[in-house]
């Protein structure tokens, strides 16, 4: 019998045990009896040590020229590339997503590492004229200090990369707390950064529960910035406790796809199935609402049901699998509960709705129709393979349905009418709008994030991703040799 390995915390450049002396397991969601490893149950003392180490490392790291910091990220990208398949397989084992998507998850981290390595030669500020003579005005970017990064399980390599890479290139040091459902992915990622040559103390990893380890980071006085991705309610709790820190929250979504009567229906069909059931619906950008013109509703429903019934459920490591397991038992119970809610609300179940007789945390790809926009299944984030179809009579009603939710992350419209496409871009309340493409497919060099209850309005990725992890300093250089007074010396 092979016993699962015990993994450690990474503090001040060393792999160490938690002060608690306790561990917790991480399971394979496709085979819950398989324990992938045991992980340190970190606590507040571990967080204190990690923050102290990050604080000590800050001066040297922030004073290293940014292009040199970039070289370390580039080396990390190279190692990630070499280990891509190994990491992807591990990711599928720990998180459950199908192997092709797991490769995509790792690729996103490679892309982000390369992109942010290049950013080390930019980190732009700007120059602008002064209102006074012989005076020079510019802005420069400064690191924030020790940054606390708290991440979810659904992109266990990509999301840490979307935070760690920009945080490091900007000169911050980091205390990283990953989801307790995917600690091994986090450890493997940190090992790669260590191997790439990151100096000790620059990146510290503390595994353990959100309400103790996560909260200790959020409340810590020496932590100057918090970047969190996760559930809306956790975001709310963090906002209450974080104090006067720089804070970025990336929260939930209830994303919709509009399919108008003139749409290429085969294209829309592929987009809905990929957006709704890819990653088993466990993406913040998952398409969990399909807003369909009533003229094409019947035909589109039939097309959808036929395609959904062909989706194969199973282990993500099996190349034939389309839909892997949910992350854990709670997620499976939540899906079951939402099916009950949908039925009680009067929605019509077209396919799915059950837990299959399999040992993992699987759930059938599920489609409800005849949903109204105010039903709970059409309003609340389910985070599973459950899609609600909302029929509408025209374009205006489609936009109203799209905007009827509290979230505003991703959105999509299928139409051949360019005027309607542009009107939709203008009127949809969301951080991202796709035209004739599904709600998912972020690229690292573009800003990613949402409005309304999807977060605090920060964007990750692109140049905006650098803003989240840096401060702007305004610099005035007066070379006139005399006292000049802005707004007062008007000559
Ligand atoms: P959670 O909010 O439950 O957890 C996210 C992270 O926060 C985990 O590391 C968790 O630790 C930690 N945490 C939990 N409670 C606290 C607390 N009180 N203080 C500090 N940290 C805490 O989200 P999930 O992991 O379940 O992720 C799913 C959610 O993430 C969905 O709502 C999804 O929409 C959202 N998401 C948003 C994205 C975006 O960019 N907008 C992208 C991806 C996901 P632990 O695991 O130990 O509980």
Choose which residue among 101, 231, 447, 468 to substitute to test ligand 1 binding: the one with the highest number of ligand atoms within 8 A of its C-beta: 231
Q: H or E element: which one contains 432?
A: strand 432-435
The Å distance, Cα 325 to ligand 1 centre, comes to 18
**Which residue puts its alpha carbon closest to atom 34 of ligand 1?**
252
Band (pLDDT 50/70/90 cuts) for residue 353 is very high
As a whole number of angstroms, the distance between CA 297 and CA 392 comes to 9
Inside any domain, residue 443 = no
Q: Is residue 80 located within the same domain as residue 94?
A: yes
Write down the pLDDT at residue 490.
80
Longest CA–CA span in the chain (Å) reads 86
Same domain? For 116 and 194 the reply is yes
Q: What is the Å distance from ligand 1's center to 377 Cα?
A: 21
Residue 233 pLDDT: 97
CA 168 to CA 338: how far, in whole Å? 40
313 in the same domain as 334: yes
Which atom of ligand 1 sits closest to the CA of residue 230? 30
Which pLDDT score is estimated for 3?
A: 82
Per-residue pLDDT, averaged over 116-136, amounts to 97
- Kindly report the CATH number assigned to the domain that includes residue 175: 3.40.605.10
The reply to whether 247 and 261 lie within a common domain is no
Cα 422 to the chain's mean position, in Å? 27
**428 CB contacts (<8 Å, ≥6 apart)?**
399, 402, 403, 411, 413
Does residue 444 sit within a domain? no
63 is catalytic: no
Do residues 189 and 76 touch, judged by C-beta distance below 8 A?
no
State the distance from the centre of ligand 1 to the C-alpha of 176, rounded, in angstroms: 13
Residues 150 and 241 in one domain: yes
How many helices (H) does the chain have, and how many strands (E)?
14, 21
Residue nearest to atom 11 of ligand 1 (CA): 210
List residues near ligand 1 (CB under 6 A). 150-154, 177-181, 209-211, 214-215, 218, 229-231, 234, 237-238, 250-253, 284, 381, 383, 409, 454
- Atom from ligand 1 closest to the CA of residue 217: 20
Mean pLDDT of 195-219: 98
The predicted pLDDT at position 318 comes to 98
Mutate to test the pocket of ligand 1, among 230, 253, 444 (most ligand atoms within 8 A of CB): 230
480 in a structural domain: no
* Same-domain status, 235 and 273: no
349 and 465 fall within a common domain: no
Mean pLDDT of 311-337: 98
- Span 102-124, mean pLDDT? 98
Residue 39 has pLDDT above 80, yes or no: yes
- Residue 104 confidence (pLDDT) above 90: yes
Question: Are 299 and 428 in the same domain?
Answer: yes
Q: Residues 450-470: what's their mean pLDDT? A: 95
- Establish if 82 belongs to a structural domain: yes
276 and 351 inside one domain: yes
Domain span including residue 303 = 255-435
Instruction: State yes or no: pLDDT of 209 exceeds 80.
Output: yes
Q: Tens digits of per-residue pLDDT, 168-181?
A: 999 999 999 999 99
Q: Quickly count: other Cβ atoms within 10 Å of residue 130's Cβ.
A: 16
- 239 within a domain of the structure (yes/no): yes
From 114, 170, 194, 284, active-site residue:
284
* CA-252 nearest atom, ligand 1: 34
Specify if 486 maps to a domain.
no
Per-residue pLDDT, averaged over 222-233, amounts to 98
Nearest alpha carbon, ligand 1 atom 16? 210
**In a shared domain, residues 260 and 247:** no
Strand order from edge to edge, sheet including 255-259 = 348-351, 366-369, 386-392, 287-293, 255-259, 410-414, 432-435
Work out how many domains the chain is built from and give that number. Answer: 2
- Pocket probe for ligand 1: among 24, 151, 226, 234, the residue whose CB has the most ligand atoms within 8 Å is 234
For ligand 1, atom 18, which residue shows the shortest CA distance? Answer: 211
The pLDDT value recorded for residue 1 is: 61
Q: Say if residue 2's pLDDT is above 80.
A: no
Cα-to-centroid distance, 232 and ligand 1 (Å): 8
Can 250 be counted among the known catalytic residues? yes
Same domain, 50 and 196: yes
CB 174 within 8 A of CB 204: yes
Q: Whose CA is nearest to atom 40 of ligand 1?
A: 250
Average pLDDT, the chain: 97
Q: What would the mean pLDDT of 250-269 be, rounded to a whole number?
A: 98
Residue 485 lies in a domain: no
* CATH code at position 416: 3.40.309.10
CB 342 within 8 A of CB 388: yes
How far is the first Cα of the chain from the last one, in angstroms, to the nearest whole number?
86
Residue 15 lies in a domain: yes
Ligand 1 mutation pick, 40, 42, 148, 152, max ligand atoms within 8 A of CB: 152
Q: Compute the distance from residue 319 Cα to the ligand 1 centre, in Å.
A: 29
Mean pLDDT for the stretch of residues 393-421: 98
**pLDDT at 216 exceeding the cut of 90:** yes
Confidence of residue 278 (pLDDT cuts 50, 70, 90): very high
Q: What is the pLDDT of residues 268-277, one digit of tens each?
A: 999 999 999 9
371 and 301 in one domain?
A: yes
For residue 191, name the pLDDT band (cuts at 50, 70, 90).
very high
Q: Which of 250, 364, 460, 468 is catalytic?
A: 250
């Amino acid at each position: 019998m092979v016993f699962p390995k015990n993994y450690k915390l990474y503090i001040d450049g060393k792999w160490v045990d938690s002060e608690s002396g306790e561990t917790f397991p991480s399971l394979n969601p496709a085979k819950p009896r398989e324990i992938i490893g045991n992980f340190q149950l970190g606590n507040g003392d571990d967080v204190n040590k990690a923050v102290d180490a990050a604080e000590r490392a800050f001066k040297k790291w922030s004073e290293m020229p940014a292009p040199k910091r970039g070289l370390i990220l580039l080396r990390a990208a190279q190692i990630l590339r070499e280990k891509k398949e190994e990491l992807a397989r591990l990711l599928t084992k720990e998180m459950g997503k199908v192997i092709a998507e797991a490769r995509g998850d790792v690729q996103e981290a490679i892309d982000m590492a390369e992109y942010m390595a290049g950013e080390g030669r930019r980190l732009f500020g700007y120059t602008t004229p002064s209102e006074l003579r012989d005076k020079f005005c510019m802005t420069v970017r400064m690191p924030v200090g020790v940054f606390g990064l708290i991440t979810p399980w659904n992109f266990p390599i990509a999301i840490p990369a979307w935070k760690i890479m920009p945080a490091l290139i900007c000169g911050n040091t980091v205390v990283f707390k990953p989801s307790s459902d995917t600690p091994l992915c986090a450890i493997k990622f940190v090992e790669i950064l260590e191997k790439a040559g990151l100096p000790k103390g620059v990146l510290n990893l503390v595994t353990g529960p959100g309400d103790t380890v996560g909260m200790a980071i959020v409340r810590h006085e020496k932590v100057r910035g918090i970047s969190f991705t996760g559930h809306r309610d956790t975001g709310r709790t963090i906002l209450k406790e974080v104090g006067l820190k720089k804070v970025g929250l990336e929260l939930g979504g209830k994303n919709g796809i509009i399919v108008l009567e003139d749409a290429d229906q085969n294209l829309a069909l592929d987009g809905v199935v990929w957006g709704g059931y890819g990653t088993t619906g466990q993406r913040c950008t998952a398409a969990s609402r399909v807003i369909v013109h009533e003229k094409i509703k019947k035909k589109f429903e039939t097309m959808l049901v036929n395609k959904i019934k062909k989706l194969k459920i199973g282990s993500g490591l099996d190349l034939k699998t389309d839909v892997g397991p949910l992350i854990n038992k709670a997620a499976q119970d939540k899906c079951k509960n939402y099916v009950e809610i949908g039925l009680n609300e009067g929605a019509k179940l077209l396919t799915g709705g059950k837990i299959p007789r399999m040992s993992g945390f699987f759930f059938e790809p599920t489609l409800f129709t005849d949903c109204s926009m105010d039903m709970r299944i059409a309003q609340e984030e389910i985070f599973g393979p459950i899609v609600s179809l909302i029929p509408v009579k025209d374009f205006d009603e489609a936009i109203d349905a799209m905007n009827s939710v509290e979230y505003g992350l991703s959105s999509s419209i299928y139409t051949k009418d360019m005027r309607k496409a542009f009107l939709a871009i203008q009127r949809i309340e969301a951080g991202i709008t796709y035209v004739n493409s599904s709600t998912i497919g972020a690229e690292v060099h573009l800003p990613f994030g949402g409005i309304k209850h999807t977060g605090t309005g920060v964007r990750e990725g692109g140049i905006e991703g650098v803003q989240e992890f840096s401060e702007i300093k305004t610099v005035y250089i007066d070379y006139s040799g005399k006292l000049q007074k802005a707004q007062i010396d008007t000559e």
